[in-house]
């Protein structure tokens, strides 16, 4: 193949990586084809593709994991190659093989290499040949647990059980004492079998305070293998990277040389072609050990792009087209420092529970050196079926400290409305003294309480000011929408007796805002406290500019339903307005069920003592030739049933009495 033979690429992926790949394709003059599941039909990556083939289905198994359907889509659209992105089929040897057999180019290594590296046990064997430092390990195979334990115990405690076919933490178990060893081996085997269809597990020493360092490698079909320096990905939550950077503070020139050359040896040993990553553990004493090879483009590849100035997707396509790696990859230097943060729709305070639903606004401030790889547009529905990553935010700056500060600022000032995200956790990590000193390892988020790191960025005082801004913005919206007397000053009174009142529910509880505009200006009370010297310079539904205690601040306000999202230099708040009037009560729902009109009881569907839920149909009355369904006004137990089928009833007759629980 030559470069000119790739004129159209199908991207077998979704979200930000699909958009990322398409961007390079466009720059290279290559047409793009998207594939998509049902929930993704309106996603930005589908709209941005030249063509799109809906795969139908919802779950990955019904869509992005369907090898046949995707190869068929490539054929149908005359795509020359498929880029698998990361995740889904990216490291699926069968998929690479299917492409090969259909004469469609696969942007990645060969099926054989994928298969070999997909087995951790096999990978370790090959690495040993290449003289890559390895942790000692015991293959469990069919050995009884006590036999395995005898071989592994000399490694020292704790031990780590890993699935050979594993990834993402599944099939992985830390063992701290001999007593739980046997049962955890079984758990890991079962989990591995269920997740990967392979029960093979092995045991390694568990390195407690290791850093995660990985080397980006690249090979072409002409026998060239190069490295593109390291990335450090030590900040992880539940074995998933959330902050990645390059270079690593932990590497000096000698260690960098040792690790990169080990990675290149590893790549050469397996005849690696295209982009790959060799992952290592780096212990506090400066020793490094092979972890695994990722045979794909990594999520965190942008940090390498920033410091090397290369476009890794472009290199991937060139290599896939049979081109040799361009000359510049042989004379690389690292420039500045890059950090990537992965923004997830999840709640770190609830054990990283993914938050699906509507993202009402996603806006990052434009800033120099900030690159955003986003899966979503300004708003989106985040479905529960896929990885909840909203975007990657990458910064490139002259120094690490500057990079961390810029990234922190961009994230802190982002407007993210409607879903919980890990934004606060990222911000607090990036400003953490340990992080800034480079004192990081893969247990950073175990040492530092994620719930504390994820608390709202503004304090209670900020939230109260935000509530004031929300009240004034909502005032402006009402004045703008007023159909009459809209040109008259807001809330004007010739005999003023009270303030306009708004109450919100915020993170710190209820907040009462009272205000009025008088000839002298704005009068504002927060929780009953008069705010002296307040001036409101700008009041629109979306923006409030307020002077308070000698400081002017601008608040961005976004109202969705009865929720106000307020962003300012003080932080971000989501405030729910408490309605002025309570929800109307159903006056007739007093436990007893009354016939609405005279008629004959046609059917009784419950008996005394039954448990019923509000809305359940209890009886049917036939009146004036029409059936009337009588349903339970509340949930409870049938305490009395006063009628049976065939009874005549008058309007107002009590039919049954429900006892509320």
Contact positions toward another protein, by CB under 8 A?
Answer: 475, 478-479, 482-485, 487-495, 497-498, 500, 519, 580-582, 584-585, 587
Q: Sign of the C-alpha dihedral, residues 609, 614, 617, 623? A: positive
Q: Which 3 state secondary structure label does DSSP give 255? A: helix
Task: State the nearest-atom distance from the C-beta of 651 to another protein, in Å.
Answer: 12
Sole residue written with tokens 């923004």: 343
Of 2 and 497, which CB lies nearer to another protein in the complex structure?
497
d(CA 598, CA 47): 60
Nearest to 156 by CA among 202, 201, 206: 206
DSSP secondary structure code for residue 72 in this structure: H
What's phi and psi for 330, nearest 5 deg? -90, -10
296 is catalytic: yes
Whether 357 contacts 418, CB under 8 Å: yes
Of 28 and 594, which CB lies nearer to another protein in the complex structure?
594
What residues are paired with 556 via a beta bridge? Answer: 543, 567
Longest dimension (CA), the chain: 97
How would you label 29-60 residue by residue, b for 16+ Cβ within 10 Å and e otherwise?
ebbbbbbbbebbeebbbbeebebbbbbebeeb
Of 487 and 625, which CB lies nearer to another protein in the complex structure?
487
Task: State the nearest-atom distance from the C-beta of 643 to another protein, in Å.
Answer: 22
Task: State the nearest-atom distance from the C-beta of 537 to another protein, in Å.
Answer: 17
Task: State the nearest-atom distance from the C-beta of 173 to another protein, in Å.
Answer: 58
- The DSSP bridge pattern shows strands 105-106 and 81-83 to be parallel
Of 259 and 473, which CB lies nearer to another protein in the complex structure?
473
Of 255 and 634, which CB lies nearer to another protein in the complex structure?
634
Task: State the nearest-atom distance from the C-beta of 528 to another protein, in Å.
Answer: 16
Helix axes 181-196, 145-152, angle to 10 degrees: 110
Task: State the nearest-atom distance from the C-beta of 641 to another protein, in Å.
Answer: 24
Of 492 and 627, which CB lies nearer to another protein in the complex structure?
492
d(CA 336, CA 431): 19
Task: State the nearest-atom distance from the C-beta of 633 to another protein, in Å.
Answer: 15
Task: State the nearest-atom distance from the C-beta of 639 to another protein, in Å.
Answer: 23
Q: Which 3 state secondary structure label does DSSP give 336? A: coil
Of 488 and 538, which CB lies nearer to another protein in the complex structure?
488
Phi-psi region of 541 (alpha: psi -120 to 50; beta: other; left: phi over 0): alpha
d(CA 40, CA 70): 15
Of 333 and 484, which CB lies nearer to another protein in the complex structure?
484
State the number of CA atoms in the 13 A half-sphere of 544 facing the CB.
30
Q: Which two tokens stand for residue 84?
A: 């698998």
- The DSSP bridge pattern shows strands 274-282 and 31-36 to be unpaired
Of 45 and 517, which CB lies nearer to another protein in the complex structure?
517
Nearest to 33 by CA among 44, 15, 20, 45: 45
Query: Out of 66, 256, 296, 349, which one is annotated catalytic?
Result: 296
d(CA 46, CA 174): 41
Please give the angle made by the CA atoms of 650, 653 and 659, to the nearest 5 degrees: 160
Task: State the nearest-atom distance from the C-beta of 475 to another protein, in Å.
Answer: 5
Q: Residue 313, exposed/middle/buried by CB under 10 A (0-12, 13-18, 19+)?
A: buried
Of 205 and 598, which CB lies nearer to another protein in the complex structure?
598
Task: State the nearest-atom distance from the C-beta of 474 to another protein, in Å.
Answer: 8
Task: State the nearest-atom distance from the C-beta of 545 to another protein, in Å.
Answer: 18
What's phi and psi for 329, nearest 5 deg? -70, -15
Please give the angle made by the CA atoms of 412, 418 and 421, to the nearest 5 degrees: 50
- Tell me the residue ranges of DSSP E strands in 238-287: 240-246, 274-282
Q: Which helix (H) or strand (E) holds 304?
A: helix 301-308
Return the number of other C-beta atoms located less than 10 Å from residue 20's C-beta: 24
Q: Which two tokens stand for residue 540?
A: 């629109």
Q: Which helix (H) or strand (E) holds 524?
A: strand 521-526
Residues annotated as part of the active site: 296
């Amino acid at each position: 193949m030559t470069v000119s033979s790739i004129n159209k690429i199908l991207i077998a992926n979704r979200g930000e990586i699909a958009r990322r790949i398409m961007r390079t394709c466009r720059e290279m003059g290559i047409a793009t084809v998207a594939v998509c599941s049902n929930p993704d039909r309106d996603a930005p990556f589908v709209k941005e593709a030249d063509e799109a083939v809906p795969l139908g289905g919802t779950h990955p198994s019904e869509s992005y994991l369907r090898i046949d359907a995707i190869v068929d889509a490539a054929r149908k659209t005359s795509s020359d190659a498929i880029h698998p992105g990361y995740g889904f089929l990216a490291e699926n040897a069968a998929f690479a093989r299917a492409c090969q057999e259909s004469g469609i180019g696969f942007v990645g290594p060969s099926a054989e290499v994928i298969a070999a590296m997909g087995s951790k046990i096999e990978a370790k064997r090959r690495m040993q040949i290449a003289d890559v430092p390895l942790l000692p390990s015991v293959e469990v195979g069919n050995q009884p647990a006590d036999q395995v334990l005898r071989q592994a115990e000399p490694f020292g405690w704790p031990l780590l059980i890993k699935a050979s076919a594993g990834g993402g933490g599944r099939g992985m178990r830390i063992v701290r004492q001999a007593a739980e060893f046997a049962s955890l081996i079984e758990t890991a085997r079962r989990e591995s079998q269920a997740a990967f269809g392979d029960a093979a597990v092995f045991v390694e020493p568990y390195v407690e305070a290791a850093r995660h360092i990985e080397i980006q490698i690249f090979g072409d079909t002409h026998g060239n293998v190069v490295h593109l320096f390291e990335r450090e990905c030590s900040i992880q939550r539940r074995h998933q990277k959330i902050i990645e950077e390059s270079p690593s503070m932990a590497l000096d020139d000698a260690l960098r040389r040792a690790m990169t050359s080990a990675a290149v040896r590893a790549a050469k040993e397996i005849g690696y072609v295209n982009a790959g990553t060799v992952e290592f553990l780096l212990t506090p004493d400066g020793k490094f050990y092979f972890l695994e090879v990722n045979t794909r483009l990594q999520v965190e590849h942008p940090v390498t792009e920033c410091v090397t100035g290369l476009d890794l997707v472009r290199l991937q396509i060139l290599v896939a087209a049979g081109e040799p790696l361009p000359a510049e990859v042989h004379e690389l230097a690292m420039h500045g420092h890059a950090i990537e943060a992965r923004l997830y729709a999840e709640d770190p305070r609830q054990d990283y529970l993914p938050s699906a639903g509507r993202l009402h606004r996603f806006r990052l401030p434009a800033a120099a050196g900030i690159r955003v790889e986003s899966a979503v547009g300004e708003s989106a529905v985040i479905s529960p079926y896929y990885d909840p990553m909203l975007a990657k935010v990458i910064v490139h700056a002259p120094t690490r400290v500057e990079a961390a500060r810029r990234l922190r600022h961009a994230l802190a000032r982002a407007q993210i409305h409607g879903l919980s995200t890990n934004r606060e956790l990222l911000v607090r990590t990036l400003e953490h003294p340990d992080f800034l000193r480079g004192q990081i390892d893969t247990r950073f988020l175990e040492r530092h309480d994620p719930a504390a790191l994820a608390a709202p960025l503004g304090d209670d005082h900020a939230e109260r000011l935000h509530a004031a801004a929300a009240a004034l913005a909502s005032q402006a919206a009402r004045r703008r929408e007023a159909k009459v007397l809209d040109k008259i000053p807001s809330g004007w009174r010739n005999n003023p007796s009270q303030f306009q009142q708004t109450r919100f529910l915020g993170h710190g509880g209820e907040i009462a805002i009272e205000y009025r505009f008088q000839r002298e200006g704005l009068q504002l009370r927060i929780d009953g406290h008069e705010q002296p010297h307040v001036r409101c310079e700008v009041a629109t539904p979306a923006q409030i500019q307020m002077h308070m205690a000698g400081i002017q601040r601008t608040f961005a306000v976004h109202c969705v339903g009865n929720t106000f999202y307020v962003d300012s230099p003080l932080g971000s708040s989501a405030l729910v307005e408490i309605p002025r009037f309570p929800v109307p009560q159903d006056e007739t729902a007093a436990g007893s069920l009354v016939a609405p009109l005279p008629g004959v009881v046609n059917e009784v569907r419950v008996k005394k003592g039954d448990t019923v839920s509000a809305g359940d149909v209890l009886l049917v009355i036939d009146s004036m030739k029409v059936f009337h369904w009588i349903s339970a006004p509340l949930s409870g137990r049938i305490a009395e049933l006063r009628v049976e089928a065939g009874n005549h009833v008058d309007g107002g007759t009590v039919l049954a009495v429900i006892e509320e629980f």
